[in-house]
Structure 1
């Protein structure tokens, strides 16, 4: 049989969640896992997976409404026929992806930490307020509108690092893990090769004092407005000191926008830098929780949505205090 060696399934659209999956379960499980991946996972990484299907959110989002609805409907109807192992094998990963309801159906899963939203009750319960629940479920799958980021009763376990306060609604099914502890037992060479992190990359990154973590907010505020935010940061320092680390879902040409700044665009989780002992004097972000992976010796600059009025309007007030509890 084509899929006789598939023993596990992982829904993934986050380089960090993929790293966490490997740290938790190792190379052997990785090689017997069927990955349903999306845009934050590079083609290079997908090419190293024995089993995978790429389901692009970016392509879906750019399609007309009728195509988006039809795509979800068709996927939910054919998933068990095309991938029969979905009926039986353990499922891990993200429960908030566009394809999760169509593939999960009424089964249970283990949710892996993805970022700040895993600690946000508001994010967890956002889909509960959608109207026409029955219609959504009929189109996309019965898991739709049941909550996300571990909230649903179909999620039997949530694996977190405990970066921030854990909402009461998921405390009883949360398992806390320590990345540094997992790293001591990990196949480090396999992980670095998977993410294409080379020796030259590490040397270059270590030579930088300042890191700016970009985020794909251009659809909310426009590309030029987003670049203005990052220019204000970059202009505070000498160009040779700064590294711009792009988000895995970024589409902006940062190398063109900042020709004198080193731009690192490989789809690698920042947490891997930390595990390798790479530190900076300062790290800047708008709202990325990744900066809290760095030790206390690193100055963390969490700009929050107050850095732009449109972000405030569309996302609400997100500060270091109300998002991260610090």
Structure 2
């Protein structure tokens, strides 16, 4: 086996893992730090990895064992990662842990619209300035060894590069660090063997998608973890999606459930023929394998934009949903729809 440990990754989502695999696909040389919420089904397919879990229980023994664990991680990996490429999902306590405790060549990976949002950056910086309670301060300083709060989303001086796909205008504050990649071009540049190797990590067999390819007039609904993230109740979320389908008189739909969702849409949408596309892979893989849909519907998942030119896209937004509007603002005000319609993404 080839020596691993030439490139390192802190991975928080399936999408960020997929981007990393497109960029660095010599798997024997990669080492992954996964958050505790990451898909176990996918994680088991990668050999070189460690799971790091958030410390939540406010007990002395938990803090002590947590502090020991994170110091052991630093002891084991500080020299190995020094001056090496380290791809991180930025904007979490774990990214702060790595930025504070390692001297690597940090590269931030895109994960949705947040990477393009000055508003999100300003919110994070404002939160960082606030005084935190004693237990939070102890956890941050003692357990994780976070002495300084670095600005997120690649703004930090410790981040040398930001990998984006250019789905939205790039903020001036990060523009000099940004490298734009084209997912489709990266995928097509890989050998068939490498493509299959990546697909196997997500437990995908190309043959199993042939049925989807051959079906016509398919409608795809991309759902989001609105109840799981505490934005609204499970009943409210189901009601939104049920109304979306009923208002458009959709009798049959394919649903790509967000990885964090636990909703049983087949049970909840009984008057509609529902096909569930398994959730433990990024939806971008569908369009890369030429699985197209006549229509793609979403509230505000940017993954829908990858199907541009391959079918109608209905990007509903947040303006008609008070709780979404309160949490995310009016998505339309980010000019996402105008940019999409003008063909700039």
> Shorter-chain TM-score category?
0.7 to 0.9
Deviation at 1:156, TM superposition (A): 0.5
Q: Which residue of 1 aligns with 2:167?
A: 163
TM-score norm. by structure 2 comes to 0.81
Question: Structure 2 matches for 1:187-266, cutoff 5 A?
Answer: 187-206=194-213, 207=215, 209-218=218-227, 219-235=230-246, 236-240=248-252, 242-259=253-270, 260-266=273-279
Q: Which runs of 5+ in 1 are unaligned?
A: none
Return the alpha-carbon distance in structure 2 between the equivalents of residues 272 and 264 of structure 1: 12
Shift of 1:51: 1.1
* 2:11 corresponding residue in structure 1: 12
1:166-181 alignment runs, 5 A limit:
166-181=170-185
How is 1:127-138 mapped onto 2 (pairs within 5 angstroms)?
A: 127-129=124-126, 130=128, 131-132=130-131, 135=137, 138=141
Kindly provide the CA deviation profile for residues 60-83 of structure 1, in whole angstroms up to 9, marking residues without a partner as x.
Answer: 6xx45668x948755554431354
Matches within 5 A, 1:138-149: 138-139=141-142, 140-142=144-146, 145-149=149-153
Q: SS at the partner of 1:221?
A: coil
1:159–1:177 Cα contact (<8 Å) kept? yes
Check the 8 A contact 1:123/1:148 in 2, yes or no: no
Residue 220 of structure 1 aligns to a residue in which SS? coil
The yes-or-no answer on 1:290 pairing with 2:285 is no
**Count of equivalent residues:** 317
The structure that has the greater radius of gyration is: 2
In 2, Cα distance between the equivalents of 1:304 and 1:204? 31
Q: Is the 8 A contact 2:116 2:168 kept in 1?
A: yes
1:222 CA drift (Å): 0.8
CA shift, 1:270, in A, is: 1.2
**Residues 223, 166 of structure 1: alpha-carbon distance in 2 compared, 3 angstrom cutoff:** same
Q: Does the 8 Å CA contact 1:93/1:112 hold for their aligned counterparts? A: yes
- Whether the 8 Å CA contact 2:88–2:95 is kept in 1: the answer is no
Please list the CA deviations of residues 193-249 of structure 1 after superposition, one character each: whole Å capped at 9, or x if unmatched.
121122453124332611111111111111110111111223234433x10100112
Kindly tell me: are residues 172 and 93 of structure 1, through their superposed partners in 2, closer, same or farther at Cα, counting changes over 3 Å?
A: same
- Judge conservation of contact 2:90–2:108 (CA < 8 Å) in 1: yes
Q: Give 1:276's aligned residue.
A: 289
Counterpart of 2:162 in 1: which secondary structure? strand
Looking at structure 1, the residues matched to 200 and 86 of structure 2 have their Cα atoms a distance apart, in angstroms, of 25
Unaligned runs of 5+ in 2: 340-345
Q: Post-superposition shift, 1:309?
A: 1.0
Normalising by structure 1, we get a TM-score of 0.86
Query: How far, CA to CA, are the matches of 2:106 and 2:11 in structure 1?
Result: 13
Contact 2:41 2:280 in 1 (8 A): no
CA RMSD of aligned residues (A): 2.9
Deviates more, 1:282-291 or 1:130-139: 130-139
Q: Secondary structure at the match of 2:225?
A: coil
Q: CA deviation at 1:91?
A: 0.6
Could you tell me whether the CA contact under 8 Å between 2:300 and 2:331 is conserved in 1? Answer: yes
Choose which of 26, 31, 37 in structure 2 pairs with 1:34: 31
Match of 2:342 in 1: none
CA shift for structure 1 position 106 = 5.1
Aligned-partner Cα distance in 2 for 1:294–1:24: 21
